[in-house]
A = this chain, B = another copy of it.
Amino acid sequence: MLKALREAVLEANLELNRRGVVIYTWGNVSGIDREAGLVVIKPSGVSYDAMCADDMVVVNLENEVVWGEKKPSSDTRTHTALYRAFPRIGGVVHTHSPHAVGWAQARMEIPCLGTTQADYCSGPIPCTEPLTPEQVERDYEGETGVNILRAFEGRDPMAQPMVLLAGHGPFAWGKTPDDAVHNAVVLEKCAEMATITRMACGGLPPLEDYVLDYHYQRKHGANAWYGQK
């Protein structure tokens, strides 16, 4: 079932490891088949060295396992919440990469300080509100998704494909699992650059709006002309 997608999700999980944004089992990638309404996700607590495509788990958007022998990632309900709410995304990634976690623990959004971030994100990298005790009791992973959606009210998730969870770490998404991994790596790098800026000058001087817009549109606008397209 969904063999090609399972292979793509496996490969995206391994890429997370190769890019140095995860250690041990500290991350997971999923991908969705929109026609079938099914999500392929990494199994819970399996190490990257030992994983194969048959270990991937297929769940539906109500979080029920429909294929596979392993338990799905403990963060599955956050992934499916994003797929249900953001109809254009095809892949979701969660990591504990250190700079992104450092800022998530600071409970700060990362303002757009430069064109590196503007090439991928039309504004800041938002930070969610912390979960309330009631949310944790009700459904920790599902309510994590709820808080992400709240942070994106009035925002376009395709234009800001990344978020920090207060006291936790980053999620990123994209058109495909591979694209989501790319955005997770970019987020870690932007967080690292923000840390360095803060150490250099003690502040976080924002990029001019018109430069942000120019860079974002150059890569993602209706008349984008970056790359070979």
Contact = CB atoms under 8 A, between A and B. Distances in A.
Interface in A47-106: 70-71, 74, 96, 98-99, 101-106
Interface in A157-215: 167-169, 182, 185, 189, 191-201, 203, 205, 207-208, 210-211, 214
Interface residues of A, number: 60
A26 interface: yes
Interface in A125-184: 130-131, 133, 136, 140, 167-169, 182
A43 interface: yes
A167 B101 contact: no
Contacts of A223: none
Contacts of A207: 105, 167
A119 B25 CA distance: 12
A23 interface: yes
A196 B196 contact: no
A200 B167 CA distance: 13
A25 to B, nearest CB: 8
Given A113-B105, A207-B167, A45 B226 contact: yes
A200 B106 contact: yes
A49 B70 CA distance: 35
A136 B211 contact: yes
A17 interface: no
B45 A228 contact: yes
B116 A197 contact: no
A226 B197 CA distance: 34
A46 interface: yes
Contacts of A105: 113-114, 193-194, 196-197, 205, 207
A24 B168 CA distance: 27
Interface of A: 19, 23-24, 26, 43-46, 70-71, 74, 96, 98-99, 101-108, 113-116, 130-131, 133, 136, 140, 167-169, 182, 185, 189, 191-201, 203, 205, 207-208, 210-211, 214, 218, 225-228
4 tightest A-B CB contacts, nearest first: A102-B196, A45-B227, A106-B201, A106-B200
